[in-house]
Amino acid sequence: MDHALLAQDLAQEARRLSALGLMACTAGNLSARLGGSTGDLLVSPSGIDKGDLTADAFIRCAAEGTPLEPGRKPSDETRLHAALYRATGCGAVVHGHGIHAVALGLRGGDRVVFSGIEMLKAFAGTTTHACTRTIPIVENDQDMTPLAERVLAARVEEMPAVLVRGHGVYAWGRTVAEAGRHLETVEWLCRLRLLSGL
């Protein structure tokens, strides 16, 4: 996709996810892969309220995460995004600190399992409520290398998201909108689990 249009998509989705409360206090980050042979990425900047992001705020980075615009600092988690592109072939990655997902992760365990929920159909490729979907949970780390290894090792084919304990959720998709929808869906399901008390 064209650089300018993709940056607009990212800014719009950042504002939407921020309004949903998934990116409080400058938390969260978003990226998308530009078309073409280089695999370059557009990545949100570090330390800025994601509700204030405009299209020109997104920073071009190489496929492995190195910033290509001198003097500009992309998200500290860019290398984890880059690892997810390599592993999944996705087109966009979003990360947020949804409070229900974080709360559910604090209950322990290495996964949360959902069955028979209509909202599972919000995950790309899931066409019926009559299925079981598992969101893996991994331990947090300030070092992106082990965190990326854990996320990639834990991910399962039919679930485009991983929950990091005490931290938040990484979700991905073919487009920015799809990745954002996956993040929103994980938060909705985690909220449901807490509300239902099951």
Q: Considering the complex, what minimum distance in angstroms separates the CB of residue 115 from Zn ion?
A: 28
Which residues in this chain contact Zn ion in the complex, by CB under 5 A?
168
Per residue, what are the HEC states of 72-96?
CCECCCHHHHHHHHHHHCCCEEEEE
Q: Which is nearer to Zn ion, 29 or 185 (CB)?
A: 29
Q: Which is nearer to Zn ion, 24 or 117 (CB)?
A: 24
- On the 0-12 / 13-18 / 19+ scale of CB atoms within 10 A, 26 is middle
Q: Which is nearer to Zn ion, 7 or 23 (CB)?
A: 23
In whole angstroms, give the CA distance from residue 4 to residue 130: 40
Q: Considering the complex, what minimum distance in angstroms separates the CB of residue 46 from Zn ion?
A: 11
Which residue number places its CB atom closest to Zn ion?
A: 168
Q: Considering the complex, what minimum distance in angstroms separates the CB of residue 100 from Zn ion?
A: 15
Q: Residue 166 in 3-state DSSP?
A: coil
In whole angstroms, give the CA distance from residue 2 to residue 7: 9
Q: Which is nearer to Zn ion, 120 or 168 (CB)?
A: 168
Please say whether the beta carbons of 29 and 77 come within 8 A: yes
Q: Considering the complex, what minimum distance in angstroms separates the CB of residue 109 from Zn ion?
A: 20
Q: Considering the complex, what minimum distance in angstroms separates the CB of residue 140 from Zn ion?
A: 9
Please say whether the beta carbons of 44 and 65 come within 8 A: no
Q: Which is nearer to Zn ion, 120 or 184 (CB)?
A: 184
Q: Considering the complex, what minimum distance in angstroms separates the CB of residue 95 from Zn ion?
A: 6
Q: Which is nearer to Zn ion, 103 or 131 (CB)?
A: 103
For the packed helices 176-196 and 3-19, what is the interaxial angle rounded to 10 degrees?
A: 20
In whole angstroms, give the CA distance from residue 119 to residue 87: 26
Q: By C-alpha distance, which of 172, 165, 136, 141 is closest to 153?
A: 136
